[in-house]
Structure 1
């Protein structure tokens, strides 16, 4: 990568780091507050990132990896900005990615559910347990409780 591309990459990453720094500051706050802070701090950063991408795309080779990455960002720009307009939305989907990682890792082990219906039931159970984790509920305790109150 030449120095110009490297500088562009450094500039883009600095803006992205600043976005995540704001998110760290407002984590756990009310949605209205998160939206207000994002509008004040992150929306201008997003506009700076967009301006940087627009400017640099004019000079980059369309086949370069950086140009392709920037094109991806441009193609998904509205979705990337939606979190700035809604305090309930996270900046990324890392929580969902972490939740499904166990499914991806154990895929070979779960070929033995026995049937398509068994696989569907397994998927539902993993979804319920993943929801427990995302909501701070102990999945094992929840499952013990649910199985205890179900009719025989």
Structure 2
């Protein structure tokens, strides 16, 4: 479906873009927009070639929105170390969410496991995406 339905529309759109680029003033808002689309045409049409690619990046935008909001809050941390700790904690919570793990249960298991570890022990098995934290 993806290889068939959008191609005629994209072909007509490309023809319109090429014609418009010749008659629009390059510094006009529409001229800038047409130029931008033409300069990114290959990236725009790549989703037709690969069924695994989405037509937009809405999922990614939605996933990073909370982080960008929090980044503004870190400006008001009492210290650099406080801001770093807050950012680290938030990063772990968002990683849990990305892997469908309840952060509360992850931290509960993490705080049970950490005191029993050597100071310089490998902690990679405690990362959120390991199966032991999926419950």
The TM-score, its normalising length taken from structure 1, stands at 0.61
Q: How many residues align?
A: 109
Structure having the higher Rg:
2
Aligned residue number for residue 126 of structure 2: none
* CA root-mean-square deviation: 2.4
**1:121: how far off?**
1.8
Pairs within 5 Å for 1:79-118: 79-111=43-75, 112=77, 114-115=80-81, 117-118=84-85
After the TM superposition, which segments of 4 or more aligned residues of structure 1 sit over 6 Å from their partners? none
Assess if the C-alpha contact under 8 Å between 1:57 and 1:70 holds in 2.
yes
Task: Verify: 1:147 aligned to 2:68, yes or no.
Answer: no
Higher helix share: 1
Q: 2:98 is matched with which residue: 111, 116, 131?
A: 131
Unaligned runs of 5+ in 2: 115-135
Decide whether the 8 Å contact of 1:42 with 1:84 is kept in 2: yes
Structure 1, unmatched stretches of 5+, are 1-36
Q: What is the TM-score with the length of structure 2 in the denominator?
A: 0.67
Give 1:127 deviation, angstroms: 4.1
